[in-house]
Structure formats: structure tokens, C-alpha cells
């Protein structure tokens, strides 16, 4: 099986490397030529356009920033659709609006191309070690055929419904993650301001009902003042914007999500958009005039 991979950013590059390690033959494309060269040095082939990737691959994966980028690569000039053919499968692992996944899938279906939307959760560390959580929408038979391919990149690969369901699930995931980080931030800032060591708070609560994967991932980094991006604030803003838009389309109010969105927007205005979303705590620290650290 020849795999095309388009999008070699923070997530896509390590995911591609894991496919090569697993023995897949890879054709890669990205605007970042250094990232392409890095993959070529590991044994991948390069292609100048998405269309060229499709012409040489059996299945094509994209890992792109947002809906407009996916639409351009899939449906635009020199895009996937121009070389689309029956038997080709397109797996979009970007986090985008579910309605865009459905739109792209419908257009590609006219050329006989099957599609899965398969966004991921776990950030750069889990992309590197191949333990992402992958949420998939699409036909059961297509999912079954490419399950093993996806399993190379993730420890959890779950089909949640038809096309668009993967991205709907990812939006739910991003709401929970954002609210968890905000709740952790409020709690640790409160404890610190009240004179309790934040590390002791963390160790005391992590084994109880307040414990979570988010708490374990972010609290140690916050206390070490490490905000280099595993998942950027700007990308979480994008995901929550998609969540709010989708919610409005289906008639669901998201008051807590809207509140966290404004916190993220405030941090972006303060020049922190490229920091990890764990920097949500810096919003609360600014309000309370306190810093949470070991």
C-alpha cells in the first residue's frame, strides 16, 4: 500500500515518521521544504502538489490547520479531486468543521473517492510516540480496511458514525479539554494565593474525582513554567470557533465554551497565541497577581 501524506507540521511530521517506521511506503507534500527533506531522508518520496501525491498513492492522508486548507487541498487547483478515481481513499486527520467534512466527502464521491474524517487528540507528544486518540467518521467497511493504518498513529481508534462524526467528536473533546484546563487553572491559582503549595494540591487531588488526563498532562508543565506548544492556543481558538459554529447550526447553546473562548482570545491579544493551551493559567494569574510554580 502506497500512502500519501500532506501536511508535515507539529503533528503531521511525527505521524508520517511512524508510518515509515511501520514499513509503509510514503509520498509526502508540504509547503515547508525542510520538513519534506527530513522525511525524504528517512525514505519517503516527495511530490510537488496534492494532485501528484494522489496520482502515485493508494490512500491519501491530510493533516492541515483548518477547514479552508482542507478544502483547498481536496477541492482546489492541483488538488486531490483533480486526480480522484474509484478505489482511492482519502483520510482527513485535520480538525475541521463537520459540515466541511461532509461537503468535501460529497464532492469527492462524485469521482468515486471514499473518505474518512479522522481527527486526533493528544498533541505533539502522543503524535511522536504513536499513541494518539483517533476519532473516525465514515463507512464501516472503509474504516475496517484502514484500521491497521490508523493504529500505527494512535493507541485508540474509534469509529463514531458516518462522515462528519469524527470531527463532531473532536469538537466535544476540545470543549472538555479547554474547560478542564480552565478549571485546573482556577483551582491552582486559588490554592497558591491562599498559601498552599500547588504541587501538594495536585498530588492530593489527582487520585480522586478531580483527577484527569488533562490534569496530569498540564499541571506539572504549568508548575515548571513550560508553555512551549504541544497544542497552541491559536489552534484551540480555531477548534472552539468550529464548536460554537456547529452548536449554533444544530441549536445547542455552549455558555461555558464561550467563556473559555474569551479567555483564549484575551491571551491571544496579549501575544500568547503561539503558547501551549496550558497558558490559560496565565489569564487567571494576571487577575490574581500570583504565579503558580513549584
| Average pLDDT of the chain to the nearest whole number | 97
What are the tens digits of pLDDT across the range 88-146? 999 999 999 999 999 999 999 999 999 999 999 988 889 999 999 999 999 999 999 99
Q: Helix 12-21 to helix 33-41 angle, to the nearest 10 degrees?
A: 10
The answer to whether domain 168-288 has CATH 3.20.20.140 is no
- For the question of residue 33 being annotated catalytic, the response is no
Share of the chain above pLDDT 90, in %: 98
CA-CA-CA-CA torsion sign (36, 39, 45, 49): negative
The catalytic position among 17, 102, 170, 218 is 170
pLDDT value at residue 106: 98
pLDDT value at residue 76: 96
Alpha carbons 275 and 32: distance in angstroms, whole number: 21
3-state secondary structure of 139: coil
pLDDT value at residue 191: 98
What are the tens digits of pLDDT across the range 232-244? 999 999 999 999 9
Residue 211 grid cell: 483527577
CATH of 2-162, one of 3.30.70.20, 3.40.50.720, 1.10.150.120, 3.40.50.620: 3.40.50.720
In the chain, which residues fall in CATH 3.40.50.720?
2-162
pLDDT value at residue 123: 86
- Dihedral (C-alpha) 265, 119, 158, 80: value to the nearest 10 degrees? 160
Query: Phi, psi (5° rounding) for residue 58?
Result: -90, -35
Identify the segments of the chain with pLDDT beneath 50: none
Q: Which residues, 6+ apart, have CB-to-CB distance to 21 below 8 Å?
A: none
pTM: 0.92
Amino acid at each position: 500500500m502506497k500512502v500519501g501524506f500532506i501536511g508535515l507540521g507539529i503533528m503531521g511530521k511525527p505521524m508520517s515518521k511512524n508510518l515509515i517506521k511501520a514499513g509503509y511506503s510514503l509520498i509526502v507534500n508540504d509547503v515547508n521544504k525542510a520538513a519534506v527533506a527530513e522525511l525524504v531522508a528517512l525514505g519517503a518520496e516527495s511530490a510537488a502538489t496534492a494532485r501528484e501525491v494522489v496520482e502515485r498513492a493508494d490512500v491519501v492522508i491530510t493533516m492541515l490547520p483548518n477547514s479552508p486548507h482542507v478544502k483547498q487541498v481536496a477541492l482546489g487547483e492541483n488538488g486531490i479531486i483533480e486526480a480522484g478515481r474509484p478505489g482511492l481513499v482519502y483520510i482527513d486527520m485535520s480538525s475541521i468543521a463537520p459540515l466541511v467534512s461532509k461537503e468535501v466527502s460529497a464532492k469527492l464521491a462524485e469521482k468515486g473517492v471514499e473518505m474518512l474524517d479522522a481527527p486526533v487528540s493528544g498533541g505533539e507528544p502522543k503524535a511522536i510516540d504513536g499513541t494518539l486518540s483517533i476519532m473516525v467518521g465514515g463507512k464501516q467497511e472503509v474504516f475496517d480496511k484502514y484500521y491497521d493504518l490508523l493504529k500505527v498513529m494512535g493507541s485508540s481508534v474509534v469509529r463514531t458514525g458516518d462522515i462528519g462524526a469524527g470531527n463532531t467528536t473532536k469538537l466535544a473533546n476540545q470543549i472538555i479539554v479547554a474547560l478542564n484546563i480552565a478549571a485546573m487553572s482556577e483551582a491552582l491559582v486559588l490554592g497558591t494565593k491562599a498559601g498552599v503549595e500547588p504541587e501538594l494540591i495536585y498530588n492530593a487531588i489527582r487520585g480522586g474525582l478531580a483527577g484527569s488526563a488533562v490534569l496530569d498532562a498540564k499541571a506539572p508543565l504549568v508548575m515548571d513554567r513550560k508553555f512551549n506548544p504541544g497544542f497552541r492556543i491559536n489552534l484551540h481558538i480555531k477548534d472552539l470557533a468550529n464548536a460554537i459554529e456547529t452548536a449554533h447550526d444544530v441549536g445547542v447553546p455552549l455558555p461555558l465554551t464561550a467563556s473559555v473562548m474569551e479567555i483564549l482570545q484575551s491571551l491571544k491579544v496579549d501575544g500568547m497565541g503561539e503558547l501551549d493551551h496550558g497558558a490559560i493559567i496565565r489569564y487567571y494569574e494576571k487577575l490574581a497577581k500570583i504565579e503558580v510554580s513549584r
